[in-house]
Structure 1
Amino acid sequence: MTSAQPRRLIVEADGGARGNPGPAGYGAVVRDAMTREVLAERSGYLGIATNNVAEYHGLIAGLEAAAEIDPSAFVDVRLDSQLVVKQMTGEWQIKHPHLQPLADRAAQLAAAFGSGRVTFTWVRREANAHADRLVNAAIDAGYGPRGGATPVASGTPTRDASAGGARELLAPSGRDGRGAGPAGGVVGADEVRPIPNRVAGWMPAPPATTLLLVRHGVTSFTLEKRFSGVGDPPLVDQGRWQAKLLAQRLAGRGGIDVVVSSPRQRCRQTAELIADVLQQPVLLDDDLREVDFGRWEGLTFAAVQQRWPRELELWLADTSISPPGGESYDELRLRITAAAQRLANRHRGKTVLVVTHSRPIAMFIANALSAPVAAIYRVQIDPASMSEIDYYADGVTVVRTVNDTAHLAAH
């Protein structure tokens, strides 16, 4: 394959739920655009989720599979969800906050192929039959045979369970034509309003994936209040002591299925001290690394303020601005959004201990609360603290604990 003849792929993606929300799954097929040969299939069961959440999972799975085949290919993504197609092309806004992280991840995957290399095409459901079969097979495998019920595609009328009747929900038209959809366009109930009463503690829910977010113990940079991002200082004695106290608490808590850590030394050391007590291996995930502070790495705030006063002012005022040679908080959000989705999907229904850094933990919390990026400035995350977030398959997140240091206060 020469550069004059780039490879062309077709992604057929679908998702569906038996009920809205209900048992849900996704499917995706990657084909060679010239021969129509099937190159890859992806599918999965999501638990209880909405149609639109399932559609986005199908899209993400398809793009990931295509990237594994050829990350520089031209890709035509075909979906029978008009909603997802129009949201991905920017014609419709994303009104539901629980879809935003999924849309962001899909956009990130599409952008990685290169500008203009990924297109989105709406097709009729019968043209998406292969992906639809994968959806049904995934739900059958994860939940059980449908017994006559069929998934409701997001392009079909959706009943509003809160209304008592069976009316269809129509998308309102925005004044500039960029509202939830054109007048008369049908969208899922979850796009018009949140699922009724779907707040913490109000409705029965399937088991959540729980992330226990632990910040590493103290390092010399922590004590000296230096910018510590991509640098690799080890734990000091106090930091190791903190990690051992936390390990004792987590051992008493029990129920931890997986331990995942940032690859930075301070996190690995913290994770290993805990994992030894829990008798668990430590998995590494590079997306859990701290934000990159660039040329400010290892410097104090006062030193940065003296040498880069204007750059520091801009950085503090705008989360899209990065330190010289570093990474912006907007970029960090994309990375943590992807990490959260991956951990929740890979370890569904389990409790995952995540050992990472202060800014990533603050971003996990901001994302879970649907808060703006700048909210991380208002979240205190102490060394060896623990925060807890539950992730449900329908996109709902519940923040249970923030910056818990009770294990340190007792000593």
Structure 2
Amino acid sequence: MPATRLTLICHARTAAQKQARLPLDEALEMDWQAQALSRATAFKPGLRVLCGPELRTRQTATLFCAEPQVQEALRDCGLGLWQGLSIKQLQAREPQALQAWLADPHLAPPQGESVAQLCQRVAQWLQDMATRPGHWLAVTHPFVMRAALLQVLQAPLASFNLLDIEPLARLDLSHAGRWRLRLLESPAPG
């Protein structure tokens, strides 16, 4: 079977990220285009582009192609009633619930999705992508990228909160029998 190459890119920065708020379906910051456009030029025209359904992923994906294919499996982790709240607000209102959620990947925010459920969803999506040869680019969220890394590295769920994914970060994977992390050469400084 021909190989699958999958490049995951985190959406560009939002105001929620700057303010340490759990995201809603907000637009990107005003200055995101120039920064993201420089990343987009590294990819070949005609690349098959997927994205999550949220506005921030769709906006970022349009830098790579005019009509990205929205995939529900790439949606952000469902944070339920905590969506839109800042970490400070949660620490003040529900400190025990927040700490329990951060410590136990099987706990979900009220009316939300647990990290374990997210990781299951992403594992299923990766399994499906393994049957789709060629190079794919998927614009998604930090939580989804963390879940993909755990799956590929077969790391325990407890490792989830040890990973930081910055806006526009890139994760390269390949599949030829099994998923592998691809570390790419970076351009020389200066």
The correspondence of residues 95-106 of structure 1 with structure 2, limited to 5 A, is none
Query: Which residue of 59, 63, 76 maps to 1:269?
Result: 59
RMSD: 2.1
Change (3 A) 1:356 1:374: same
Query: Which residue of 111, 118, 121 maps to 1:325?
Result: 111
Preserved contact between residue 384 and residue 405 of structure 1 (Cα < 8 Å): no
The structure, 1 or 2, with the larger RCO (C-alpha pairs under 8 Å, 6+ apart) is 2
Tell me which residue corresponds to 2:157. Answer: 373
Tell me which residue corresponds to 1:238. Answer: 31
Percent identical: 29
The correspondence of residues 11-410 of structure 1 with structure 2, limited to 5 A, is 47=1, 207-228=2-23, 231-250=24-43, 254=44, 257-276=47-66, 281-345=67-131, 347-348=132-133, 350-392=134-176, 394=177, 396-401=178-183
Preserved contact between residue 219 and residue 233 of structure 1 (Cα < 8 Å): yes
User: Residue 330 of structure 1: CA displacement?
Assistant: 0.6
Preserved contact between residue 108 and residue 114 of structure 2 (Cα < 8 Å): yes
Change (3 A) 1:386 1:405: farther
Preserved contact between residue 262 and residue 268 of structure 1 (Cα < 8 Å): yes
Preserved contact between residue 259 and residue 352 of structure 1 (Cα < 8 Å): yes
Change (3 A) 1:401 1:238: farther
Task: State the distance in 2 between where 1:405 and 1:226 align.
Answer: 31
Change (3 A) 1:401 1:290: farther
Computing the radius of gyration from Cα coordinates, the structure with the larger value is 1
Q: Which amino acid aligns with 2:29?
A: V
1:144-202 deviations in whole A, cap 9, x for unaligned? xxxxxxxxxxxxxxxxxxxxxxxxxxxxxxxxxxxxxxxxxxxxxxxxxxxxxxxxxxx
1:255-302 deviations in whole A, cap 9, x for unaligned? 8641000010000000012214xxxx3111011001011121111111
Tell me the matched-pair count: 189
User: Residue 344 of structure 1: CA displacement?
Assistant: 2.0
Q: Which amino acid aligns with 2:93?
A: R
Q: Which amino acid aligns with 1:212?
A: T
User: Residue 405 of structure 1: CA displacement?
Assistant: 9.1
Preserved contact between residue 61 and residue 68 of structure 2 (Cα < 8 Å): yes
Unaligned segments of structure 1, at least 5 residues: 1-46, 48-206
Q: Which amino acid aligns with 1:399?
A: L
Task: State the distance in 2 between where 1:219 and 1:312 align.
Answer: 22
Preserved contact between residue 210 and residue 352 of structure 1 (Cα < 8 Å): yes
Report the secondary structure of 1:221's partner residue. helix
TM-score w.r.t. length of structure 2: 0.91
Preserved contact between residue 260 and residue 284 of structure 1 (Cα < 8 Å): yes
Change (3 A) 1:341 1:256: farther
Report the secondary structure of 1:275's partner residue. coil
Preserved contact between residue 54 and residue 75 of structure 2 (Cα < 8 Å): yes
Task: State the distance in 1 between where 2:113 and 2:186 align.
Answer: 29
Report the secondary structure of 2:64's partner residue. helix
TM-score w.r.t. length of structure 1: 0.44
Report the secondary structure of 2:32's partner residue. helix
Change (3 A) 1:273 1:365: same
Preserved contact between residue 102 and residue 161 of structure 2 (Cα < 8 Å): no
Change (3 A) 1:249 1:330: same
User: Residue 224 of structure 1: CA displacement?
Assistant: 1.0
1:201-242 deviations in whole A, cap 9, x for unaligned? xxxxxx4211100000011111111111xx210011222222
1:302-338 deviations in whole A, cap 9, x for unaligned? 1101101111111111100001111100110111011
Aligned structure 1 segments of 4 or more residues deviating by more than 4 angstroms: none
